[in-house]
Amino acid sequence: MHRATEAMPKRTAAFMLAGLAFGIAAGTPAGLSRTAPAQEKAAVTVAGRSFAFDGSTAMLLRGDHRRAEVAIAHPAPERGAAGRIFVTLLPAAETPEPELWPALVHSRFVEADVSEGPGGLLMRRFRSDGPFPGEILYIARDEAAGFAARCREEAPDDAPSCMTTIRRDGIDMVIRFPRTLLADWARLIRRVETALTDAGRRAVPST
């Protein structure tokens, strides 16, 4: 993992910290209750991109032009049962690409020790005196994979207590998922991308 860039503007760093701290909790996504009604057939437009959900693999929980909350079904590999991934869609922030965050921000606040994590990920604990106390950073060994997730250490296994962000076509996709899916992180990202790509195609009328 590269060293943090010391020349990074303070305003940008503060903005990133605010964004990185957004919404991670041992429970449901920010602003949603466990009883929030899901709309099996619904459409939403975020940052100029339209999505139509039919409930087959993804459901719209809440949304407007500023943000949308989506639940995506995902099989849990260890139990063979269906799990749920929560995704917040937001207009892309004016920050570096999410895959750069571990080097630009996270590396300032983690402990020196590096351990082996699930799915071939590297695991580093955040210091208690930093902005992410009680969380663990998981990073793909291959930096080209561009995957990093923060997880709350003390949270039920089935709670969406891990968070990662990917940026695609002007939209930041903040993904929350159970810690049990870390070992399956590559398939998890593909699942989200496929579900949202399908929803985007469904929103475009066929000619």
Give the CA distances from residue 53 to residues 37, 58, 72, in Å, rounded to whole numbers and listed in that order: 14, 6, 10
Q: How confident is the model at residue 43 (pLDDT cuts 50, 70, 90)?
A: very high
d(C-alpha 148, C-alpha 7), whole Å: 22
pLDDT the model gives residue 159:
87
pLDDT the model gives residue 192:
95
* CB contact burial 81-93 (16+ within 10 A = b; e otherwise): eebbbbbbbbeeb
Q: How confident is the model at residue 31 (pLDDT cuts 50, 70, 90)?
A: very low
Give residue-wise pLDDT tens across range 151-197: 999 888 788 999 999 999 899 999 999 998 999 999 999 999 999 99
Average of pLDDT values for 19-30? Answer: 41
pLDDT the model gives residue 206:
52
Burial of 2 (0-12, 13-18, 19+ CB in 10 A): exposed
Give the pair of three-digit tokens for residue 188: 């998890």
d(C-alpha 54, C-alpha 39), whole Å: 8
Give the pair of three-digit tokens for residue 40: 């099996």
pLDDT the model gives residue 13:
45
92 has pLDDT over 60:
yes
Average of pLDDT values for 120-133? Answer: 95
User: Count of H helices and E strands in the chain?
Assistant: 3, 11
Q: How confident is the model at residue 82 (pLDDT cuts 50, 70, 90)?
A: low
DSSP classification of residue 158: T
d(C-alpha 207, C-alpha 193), whole Å: 24
